[in-house]
Amino acid sequence: MTAASPVAGLDAMIQRFGVGSRSSTGVVHNATGYFACTPQAPYDASLSVAGQTRQLLAKADARLAEIGTAKDKLLFVAIILADMAGYAEMNEVWDEWVSGIAPPSRACFAAALASPALKVEMIMISAVP
């Protein structure tokens, strides 16, 4: 009798969604879901920070549903802005989206994003019932 591989047991506890060659669109482990949201490609540089934020939050709703949860189960969100000048504009859309739920813990900071057309990205961690 041989012992089971600890890695094989761990792999059985991980669900991956939208597996691609570079990344998965979402991962669930131990009733916790992890995913990132970026605007849809091709990136439309004409979209405002608010426009990209709306696009991301719609994508987040879909991703949350895909992994079996919803925004009221979010634990943490990291919001990355290309320029903090868009902070108020992003917050206006965010505040609408979290209205009516207990919002998650959140951090917001500025960083260079992968494309000059990107204005905002988000990283989300959620409980998955």
Quote the pLDDT of residue 2.
Answer: 47
Tell me which CATH code domain 11-127 carries: 3.30.1330.40
Buried b (16+ CB within 10 A) or exposed e, 101-122: eeebeeebeeeebeeebbbbbb
Quote the pLDDT of residue 77.
Answer: 98
As averages over each run of 10 residues, the pLDDT of the chain (129 residues) reads: 53 88 93 89 83 94 96 98 98 98 98 92 97
Quote the pLDDT of residue 6.
Answer: 52
Residue 97 is encoded by which pair of tokens?
């989206």
CA atoms of 82 and 36, how far apart (whole Å): 16
**Residue in 11, 24, 22 with CA at minimum distance from that of residue 63:** 24
Q: Where are the domains of the chain?
A: 11-127
User: pTM for this structure?
Assistant: 0.88
